[in-house]
Amino acid sequence: MGQLEDMHVFVRIVEAGSITKAADQLNLAKSAVSKRLGDLENRLGSKLINRTTRTSSITEAGNQYYQRVKLLLGEVDSLNGDIACKNKVLAGSLKLAVPLSFGITHLTPAIDLFMRQHPELNIEVNFSDRKVDIIEGGYDLAFRIGSLPDSSLKARKITPIRHVICASPDYLKHRGIPENPAQLKHHKILKQTGWPLAGMPLWDLEGQKHLVNGESSLTANNGDAMMQLALSGHGIIMLPSFFVWEALEKGDLIQILENYSLPTMHAYAIYPATRYLPLKVRSLIDFLIERFGDNPYWDQHTT
């Protein structure tokens, strides 16, 4: 390794929070990472990281060096990216964190196509609904649905996420079809964990808010499980359309209250605000935006 590689190691130590975590992310031995840091400090003649057997902390000189090095490495990555862009060759590794159900059903086929276009890439994917720390975990990119409260992250909208209210034909045959939100109080609702059953807001076409009240027959934190129970006639679900679109097309679920809606959310690609976005990451984001768009395929047969 040369000085530039030592700088990369130093930045990873700072962003990961420890030499041990940096070594795991870089797939290097802890001793090798410590040696790279030591070589860099000896070359500079200054202590960058205070470290003991249990803790490590950045020094004042280390923080100043870190801020300058980030800019320098960003310029190097930008230069490399511009040259690589001319050749259209994407190579190296990508580490992604994606939501479980959306990732398996919709992102996996997209990643399959992207890998076919760029066979030199190696992609590692973590499927989980847990919001991982992308800096600590060493992720190049993560996908999230909903709000983005963390201001230390940058984000690009990938596609809108709309909700559908639906139930099985058998359930509606026996319990009747509600014509307005007030009638939901006479129905069983399959509730998503974290959503309030009492006072859940729906909006009509005129923008008026209506509060939903109903009896919950199930609360679950997994949309696929909720959909399966709805298919079995256990109640009404309010799920993102990417879960239920095929069941709606087949008639296994029936959309109700088409003139009422939950707020539209978005799927985002997020990455650290302090990190230059490499060409391979930008290319994947652009690919997904083009693939899904403002009217994704799962919304093209819903109201």
pLDDT tens track for 151-208: 667 889 999 999 999 999 999 999 999 999 889 888 888 888 777 655 678 888 888 8
| Distances from the Cα of 22 to the Cα of 16, 156, 296, angstroms | 6, 27, 38
Q: Do 15 and 69 share a structural domain?
A: yes
Contact indicator for 124, 143 with CB cutoff of 8 Å? no
Q: Do 169 and 242 share a structural domain?
A: yes
DSSP H helices, the chain, are 3-16, 19-26, 30-44, 60-87, 100-102, 108-117, 169-175, 223-231, 241-250, 279-292
Query: What digits encode the pLDDT tens for the residues 64-113?
Result: 888 888 777 766 766 666 565 555 677 888 899 999 999 999 999 999 99
Angstrom distance (rounded) from CA 13 to CA 36: 11
144, amino acid identity: R
List of residues 6+ apart from 65 with CB closer than 8 A: 10, 44, 46, 48
Residue that the structure tokens 């902390």 belong to = 57
Contact indicator for 254, 178 with CB cutoff of 8 Å? no
Three-state SS at 257: coil
Please give the span between the terminal C-alpha atoms of the chain, in angstroms, as a whole number: 57
Q: Which among 24, 54, 85 is the end of a domain?
A: 85
Q: Do 279 and 145 share a structural domain?
A: yes
Q: Do 283 and 137 share a structural domain?
A: yes
Contact indicator for 199, 213 with CB cutoff of 8 Å? yes
Q: Which among 85, 104, 133 is the end of a domain?
A: 85
Report how far Cα 236 is from the mean position of its chain's Cα atoms: 27
Q: Do 148 and 137 share a structural domain?
A: yes
Query: What digits encode the pLDDT tens for the residues 226-262?
Result: 999 999 999 999 999 999 999 999 999 999 999 988 8
List of residues 6+ apart from 193 with CB closer than 8 A: 219, 220, 221
Q: Do 104 and 57 share a structural domain?
A: no
Residue that the structure tokens 């057997």 belong to = 53
* pTM for this prediction: 0.72
| Helix, strand and coil percent figures for the chain, each rounded to 5 | 45, 25, 30
CATH code at position 17: 1.10.10.10
Angstrom distance (rounded) from CA 200 to CA 187: 14
pLDDT-based confidence at residue 53 (cuts at 50, 70, 90): low
Query: What is the domain count for the chain?
Result: 3
pLDDT over 80 (residue 301): no
Which range marks the domain in which residue 283 is found? 89-160+265-299
Angstrom distance (rounded) from CA 25 to CA 37: 15
Nearest CA-CA partner of 224 in 205, 239, 204: 239
